[in-house]
Amino acid sequence: MSVLRMINFIVGAALALVARPVEANSGVSSAFLSRDGLPHSMIATDLLSELERVVGKDHRLATERRVARLEGALKPMFDSMPKNGEGNLHAMSVRYLLHRLFVQRHGWFVNGLAAAGESWNSSSPARVFEKHAGEEMRDVFHNKLEEAGFSLHQVAVFAATLEALVHTESIERLEAAYRITGISAKDQLIGEHNQLTDAYVTEAADMYMMMYVLNMNHSIVSADEMQEAKENIMEIYPTWPDTQVFVAGVRESVLADVESKDRTTWSTTLKVLEEVGERYGRWQDKECHHLKDELVKMDEDGNGRVPLERFYEKAMTNSSWQFLESVPYLRQLGALDDTDPHRLSVIIPNYINSPSNCVASSKFYAVCCIDECESLLGSLETHIGMPDAPPALITQLVAGLKSTTVSAPRQLDAALLQRLEEIATHHAGTVPLHGRLFAQWMHHAYPCECPYPHVAGTTNPLGAEEFYASTGHEVEATHEEIRELMHKTSRLNAEAPATEQQALPWSAEEELFVHRPKQSPSAFSMLSGFIAKGGLLVAALASILAMMSKVNDTGAKGMVMGCKDNHKYYV
123-151 confidence digits (pLDDT tens) = 899 999 988 888 998 999 999 999 899 99
Nearest to 209 by CA among 250, 173, 234, 181: 173
Chunk the chain into consecutive blocks of 10 residues (it has 571) and report each block's average pLDDT, rounded to whole numbers: 46 40 34 43 66 81 88 95 94 96 93 92 91 88 92 95 92 93 63 65 94 94 94 93 96 93 90 94 94 95 93 87 94 95 94 93 92 96 96 97 96 96 96 97 98 95 92 92 89 72 87 82 45 39 42 36 42 33
CA distance 339 to 236: 36
Q: How far is CA 511 from the centre of its chain?
A: 18
Nearest to 455 by CA among 502, 506, 421: 506
Strand partners, 21: 519
CA distance 174 to 177: 5
CA distance 197 to 553: 53
Look up residue 370 and give its amino acid: I
Strand order in the sheet with 336-337: 305-307, 345-347, 336-337
DSSP classification of residue 512: B
DSSP classification of residue 216: -
Q: Is 389 helix (H, G, I), strand (E, B) or coil?
A: strand
DSSP classification of residue 475: S
Instruction: Determine the pLDDT at residue 501.
Output: 66
Give per-residue burial for 311-324: e unless 16+ CB within 10 Å, then b. bbbebeeeeeeebb
Cβ-based neighbour number of residue 556 at 10 Å: 11
DSSP classification of residue 33: B
Q: Is the dihedral of CA 142, 148, 153, 156 positive or negative?
A: positive
Strand segments, DSSP code E, in 111-155 are: none
CA distance 473 to 483: 19
Q: What pLDDT digit, counting tens, does each position of 514-562 carry?
A: 998 875 444 454 444 333 334 433 443 443 444 344 334 433 333 333 4
- Please state at what angle helix 152-180 crosses helix 266-297, rounded to 10 degrees: 110
Kindly report whether the global pTM for this prediction surpasses the value 0.95: no
CA distance 38 to 24: 18
